[in-house]
Amino acid sequence: MAKTYTIKKTHNGRSNYIHGTIEQLAHYFKYLLECGESWEYNELAEKNSHRKPTITTEPKSIKSLMKSLEKSVEYTQGGCYHRDFHELVDAAPEGAEISDLAKESA
Q: What is the pLDDT of residues 60-88, one digit of tens each?
A: 999 999 999 999 998 888 877 788 889 99
pLDDT of residue 102: 67
C-beta separation of 84 from 77 below 8 A: yes
- Is the pLDDT reported for residue 1 higher than 80? no
The number of domains in the chain is 1
Helix (H) or strand (E) run with residue 99 in it: strand 98-100
**Rounded distance, CA 10 to CA 100, Å?**
17
Could you report the per-residue pLDDT of 6-48, keeping only the tens digit for each? 999 998 888 899 999 999 999 999 999 999 988 888 777 777 7
Res 64: pLDDT = 94
Domain span at residue 13?
Answer: 5-105
- What pLDDT, on the 0 to 100 scale, is given for residue 46? 74
Q: What is the pLDDT of residue 2?
A: 80
Strand pairing report for 98-100 and 85-89: unpaired
Q: What is the pLDDT of residue 88?
A: 93
